[in-house]
Chains A and B, each alone.
Chain A
Amino acid sequence: MRIGHFATNYARDEAFAGSRSARGLALAILVLVIAFPFLAPTYWLYMGTLLAINVISTIGLNITTGYTGLLSLGHGAFMGVGAYTAGYFAINHGMPFYLTIPLAGIFAAVLGAAFGLPSLGIRGLYLVIATLAAQYILSFLFQNWTAVTGGLNGLKLEPATIGEFRFDNNTSLYYFVLVPAVGLSLFAANLFRTRVGRAFIAIRERDLTAEVLGVHLTRYKLASFALGAFYAGIAGGLMAYLFRIVTADQYSLAVSVFFLSAVVVGGMGSIFGSVLGALFMTVLPEALKAAVDLVGPFFTMRAALIFAPIREIVFGMLLVFFLIFEPRGLVYIWHRVSRMFSLWPFKS
């Protein structure tokens, strides 16, 4: 039970995990996340690894779209840029992962800023089309710039190594992606307590007002695109080492829509919401598959045949449902539930 949390100075008010119970919860989550490989079966561990990558990418898109209000349909392509960059430098130049993954982020950030350039003059729907154009043009490059991307065959990577150690089993890969995932999440959460983060939010609320208040629109809009794409690039680079293969259809428009859905379902403008959204979107197909397998034998149709359309229907319905009934996303439900608990005996 935690009735009131009264901050007596600004530092405490802004603090990242201000109260004792918040710190306790954060610590508990951290311990659980670190101990996860010893608790979970192999398949779950793999899902956890995928989830950590999706969290990074969702947070990136949330920075651009949720916090700065710049709608991007090119996020999947920026992940692709990261994956291909990591793959290219690892294969052709034999670079270790601790160089290729930052490079993946940087390349994606540069391209993100380049495709963000039209965002300076346009907004809303026009920006959607500009980023959609980025997605298609980059997808085209992935498929046809054979010298770098390997064309339709894609790139095949060796496992990441450090010294003699190879990241080639589930447990090591889990920690391999966990470290950047936790680091980048904390960075993003802290970003919005700083001048830059507040400038992003000001642009989202009303860009003209933000400009009048002294926010340099050009600089911050491009920075927001670059930062979002940087996260996408890192996620793509990690994904390249996880799957050890990079192909163009792993980073199609569907991926961009997947991450936009994760942002919307989780809650726009919330880092914790991004985590929840990524969790939901990663687990949903698995849950559906389990459900279809469960009821499949009662129907004459083969479960595998109806799974893809059913996934599409459920996915679309959930998107519509969330946007109509809970536009603030899962994080808002979380807030409501946690408030209910903290006020429990007194507010019935």
Chain B
Amino acid sequence: MSPLQLFIEYSLVGIAAGGIYTLVALGSILIFKASGVFNFAMGEMMMFGAYSFLLFSVQLKLHWAIGMALAILVSCGLAWIIERAVLRPMLGQPVISLVMVTFGIGFVLRGIASLVFGTDSYQLPEILARDPFMIFGIFMPGKAGRGFLLSVGICVALIVFFRFSRIGIALRATAADQITAFSMGINVRGIFGLAWMAAAAAGTVAGVIAASVASLTPELGAIALSVLAVVILGGMNSIGGVLVAGLLIGWLESITGYLLGGAYRDITPYVAVLIMLMIRPHGLFGTKPVERI
């Protein structure tokens, strides 16, 4: 195989992996836009969703579609509880407190998962077909490719929903100005909960895809730390930016893995983000925050 062909193949695999980053990053952005909290427990919420899917579809032997629906329901419930019980009392606290509290939630979720399911890795049922397919003569692994199509589909659906539905407009109004939104009769508290639940749903799907491409362990959430880099690279308040950045980070990881070796893969997102912060601190597509005194 020629180096060019290999390069293209690695690029495709990387972009396919980037689909999951995009989905998780979209969830983080929704929460951030609505309530100004950056959720460091996003990876653990993802992992939690994947474990509830495991519980329903494998251990209770339900059909995978029902299992998926139940898993999304359970994660949404969990996200609602987290928002209501932990993040609501923390409103208006400094960034460090918000960061630490989401770290704390992440620890608790990971601890529960490894207490209940142990630290062994699980294999999820085959919901994505394994057989590879060819795009323009380029080999594409089946699970990663289909996972990509699925995550991009859900991203687009979420974006369309938040752009055109009433709830979506309410969310964007809340993001723009909470007090004005509240005085116009928007249920701002409800929007906070909704954003968390939407993020949990996106996280669950991403978690199931990620776990079925690889396998499911309590450490599944670790990949979400690259998502932070995606969010910053795209710009904290730009949904379009996150779409591009997610795929870009996936591509960069795969290409550095190919050119320099696997060890370099893990730090690629952070090197990219450091360079970005030096050149354009507000991200590729983000708007520069206005400093008011």
Contact = CB atoms under 8 A, between A and B. Distances in A.
**Do A and B bind?**
yes
Interface of A: 65, 69, 71, 117-118, 121-122, 124-126, 128-130, 132-134, 136-137, 140, 143-144, 208, 257, 260-261, 264, 268, 305-306, 308-320, 323-324, 327
Given A309-B115, A324-B86, A316 B105 contact: yes
B132 interface: no
Contact of B111 (A136, A310, A323): A310
Contact of B101 (A208, A257, A319): A319
Contact of B38 (A125, A143, A320): A125
A272 B229 CA distance: 35
B274 A71 contact: no
11 contacts: A129-B232, A261-B103, A306-B115, A309-B114, A310-B115, A312-B108, A315-B107, A316-B106, A316-B108, A323-B93, A324-B101
Interface string B232-258: 100010000000000000000000000
A129 B101 CA distance: 16
A203 to B, nearest CB: 14
A137 B112 contact: no
Contacts of A130: 273-274, 277
Contact of B104 (A118, A125, A208, A319): A319
A292 to B, nearest CB: 12
Most chain-A CB neighbours within 10 Å: which of B104, B229, B236, B274? B104
A320 B111 CA distance: 14
Interface residues of B, number: 43
A312 B95 CA distance: 23
Contact of B100 (A69, A133, A208, A261): A261
A320 B270 contact: no
B33 interface: no
A313 B228 CA distance: 23
Contacts of B115: 306, 309-310, 313
B265 to A, nearest CB: 10
Contact of A133 (B38, B99, B105, B270): B270
Interface string B263-288: 11011001101100110010000000
B233 to A, nearest CB: 9
B110 A312 contact: yes
B96 interface: yes
Contacts of A260: 96, 100, 103
Contacts of A320: 86, 101, 104-105, 108
Given A65-B96, A324-B89, A208 B291 contact: yes
B271 to A, nearest CB: 7
A309 B228 contact: no
Contacts of B99: 71, 125, 128
A299 B107 CA distance: 23
Contact of B107 (A134, A316, A324): A316
B225 interface: yes
A323 B263 contact: no
A290 B232 CA distance: 42
Given A125-B38, A132-B228, 8 more contacts: A118-B277, A122-B281, A134-B274, A260-B103, A261-B100, A308-B114, A312-B114, A324-B86
Leading 6 A-B pairs by shortest Cβ distance: A316-B107, A319-B104, A312-B111, A313-B111, A133-B270, A316-B108
A65 B232 CA distance: 21
B93 A327 contact: yes
Contacts of B103: 257, 260-261, 316, 319
B90 interface: yes
Interface in B135-171: none
A122 B277 contact: yes
Interface in B159-212: none
Contacts of A257: 103
B4 interface: no
B186 to A, nearest CB: 25
Contacts of B267: 136-137, 140
Contacts of A306: 115
A115 to B, nearest CB: 8
A125 B229 contact: no
B95 A71 contact: yes
Contacts of A140: 263-264, 266-267
Contacts of A124: 95
A313 B277 contact: no
Contacts of A121: 277, 281
Contact of A327 (B97, B107, B277): B97
A117 B106 CA distance: 29
A327 to B, nearest CB: 6
Nearest to A119: B277
Most chain-B CB neighbours within 10 Å: which of A140, A208, A257, A324? A324
B293 interface: yes
Contacts of A71: 95-96, 99
